[in-house]
Amino acid sequence: MSQATAKAPTVAATLRAMRRAGAAGEPVPAATVAEWYSALKGQLYGMQKAVRYECRPLHTTEPWLEAQEGDVLQARKRGLDVRALYLHPPAPKEQHRWPPDSNGDGDGHCLACGETEWLAGPDCRPHPPLRDHRSSMPFRITWMLEPLEKLQHLTKHMNPLDRAKWRNETTYLIDRIKDHEKGSQP
């Protein structure tokens, strides 16, 4: 182990020194603060450069936008909050699809996820398809077909008015059950 690596202060040692200095309540010399800064920056980030800078107006919750060089250098003058990203941000999974906007007011909804344009984040996350709860019934609705067909067959023993009523009802129910079954098939 070389002497240079043995002398390099760790993050824990630097934080302990900072806590001691804060507890003492004495002013800390600028040279000591510079040492703390270089130790923390060297240990946490090493020689890594910022991948990109992002900015937004101070004291707002607006989304972070990629900063230009002038935004970073004159952040205080421009009233911007700047942050440096040291790791590559994840690639966006899917871009939003906005409808063609005729009046340019920008409050359209994404065609895939339904978010409004001014509120949407960088990634489009479409809603999962709705689950068809008909397939999770405690019984199969097709079990009702046979009794309904029997009822339809037995209507021949009824008077003409009741026969027409019950045939219409059973035919309607049988058709709805068959449509329902077609819709719940994967």
Sequential pLDDT tens for the chain (186 residues): 444 455 678 888 999 999 999 899 889 999 999 999 988 888 877 766 778 889 999 998 889 999 998 998 999 999 999 998 877 655 556 788 888 764 555 567 888 888 887 777 777 888 787 776 666 667 778 888 999 999 888 888 889 999 999 999 999 999 998 888 887 665
Q: Are 87 and 69 within 8 A, CB to CB?
A: no
DSSP 76: H
Q: Are 94 and 118 within 8 A, CB to CB?
A: no
Give pLDDT, residue 98: 81
Give pLDDT, residue 2: 46
Helix 30-44 / helix 11-24 crossing angle, nearest 10 deg: 150
Give pLDDT, residue 185: 64
pTM of the model: 0.30
Q: How many other β-carbons are positioned within 10 Å of the β-carbon of residue 71?
A: 17
Give pLDDT, residue 1: 42
Q: Are 66 and 45 within 8 A, CB to CB?
A: no
Give pLDDT, residue 92: 53
Two structure tokens written together for 103: 């009046």
Compute the distance between CA of residue 132 and CA of residue 20 in angstroms, rounded to an integer: 62
Compute the distance between CA of residue 10 and CA of residue 62 in angstroms, rounded to an integer: 36
